Amino acid sequence: MVGYTSWALLTKMDIPLIGVNGLRGEYHLELPQLRIGSLKLRYPIVQGGMAVRASTASLAGAVAKAGGVGLIGATAMALEELKQEIEQARSLAAGGIIGINIMYTATQFAEMVDVAIRAGIDVIFTGAGFSRDIFRWGKESGVPIVSIVASAKAARLAEKFGAAAVVAEGAEAGGHLGTDRSVKEIVPEIKATVKIPIIAAGGIVSGQDIADVIKLGASGVQMATRFVLSEECSVADQFKQMYLQAKAEDVVIIRSPVGLPGRGIRNDFVKSIEQNKVPKPSECAGCLKKCSKEYCIVKALINARDGLVNEGIVFAGQNVFKIKDILPVQEIFDRLLAEYAVAE
Q: 277 lies in which domain range?
A: 237-320
Flag whether 1 is in a domain. no
The reply to whether 94 and 192 lie within a common domain is yes
Confidence bin at 260 (pLDDT 50/70/90): confident
The answer to whether position 22 is within a domain reads no
Rounded Cα distance between 344 and 208, Å, is 7
pLDDT value of residue 26: 41
Contact 159, 145 (CB under 8 A): no
Residues in the chain: 344
Report how far residue 267's alpha carbon sits from residue 279's, in angstroms, rounded to the nearest whole number. Answer: 15
Is residue 174 located within the same domain as residue 277?
no
259 or 126: which leads in pLDDT:
126
Rounded Cα gap, residues 219 and 198, in angstroms: 5
Supply the CATH number for residue 161's domain. Answer: 3.20.20.70
In DSSP terms, 200 is beta-bridged to 168, 221
Q: What share of the chain is helix, strand, coil (3-state, %, to 5)?
A: 35, 15, 45
Q: Give dist(CA 81, CA 119) in Å, integer.
A: 12
**Residues 295 and 311 grouped into a single domain:** yes
Q: What is the mean pLDDT of residues 281-295?
A: 75
Q: How many CA atoms lie within 13 A of 150 on its CB side?
A: 17
Q: Indicate whether 178 and 288 sit together in one domain.
A: no
In a domain? residue 178: yes
88-97, 171-180, 225-234, 321-330: least confident range = 171-180
pLDDT band at 76, cuts 50/70/90?
confident
Burial of 142 from C-beta contacts in 10 A (0-12 / 13-18 / 19+):
exposed
Q: Which is nearest to 339 in space by CA: 326, 323, 318?
A: 323
Check whether residue 174 and residue 68 sit in a common domain: yes
Cα 44 to Cα 38: distance, rounded to the nearest angstrom: 14
Q: Is the pLDDT of residue 209 over 90?
A: yes
Query: H or E segment at 176?
Result: strand 175-176
101 pLDDT higher than 70:
yes
pLDDT bracket for residue 288 (50, 70, 90): low
* CA distances, 50 to each of 4, 26, 169, 301 (Å): 26, 34, 14, 10
Distance from the first to the final alpha carbon of the chain: 8
pLDDT at 20 over 70: no
> How far is CA 2 from its chain centroid?
23
> Which helix (DSSP H) or strand (DSSP E) does residue 239 occupy?
helix 237-245
φ/ψ region of 142 (left if φ > 0, alpha if ψ in -120 to 50, else beta) reads left
Residues 252 and 192 in one domain: no
Residue 193 has pLDDT above 50, yes or no: yes
121 with 224, same domain: the answer is yes
Q: Is residue 24 part of a domain?
A: no
Model confidence at 18: pLDDT above 90: no
Query: In the prediction, which pLDDT does 259 show?
Result: 83
Mark whether 61 and 156 lie in a shared domain.
Answer: yes
- Sign, CA torsion 41/45/50/54: negative
Query: What domain count does the chain have?
Result: 2
Structural domain includes residue 20: no
Please indicate, yes or no, if residue 302 is contained in any of the structural domains. Answer: yes
Task: Looking at the structure, tell me whether residues 87 and 226 fall in a common domain.
Answer: yes
Residue 12 counted as domain residue: no
117 and 248 in a single domain? The answer is no
Q: Average pLDDT in the 225-240 region?
A: 97
CA distance 189 to 200: 12
pLDDT for 293: 83
- d(Cα 302, Cα 235) in Å, to the nearest integer? 9
- Whether 82 and 202 share a structural domain: yes
Pair 175, 167: CB distance under 8 Å:
no
95 in a domain, yes or no?
A: yes
d(CA 337, CA 149): 26
Q: Indicate whether 74 and 206 sit together in one domain.
A: yes
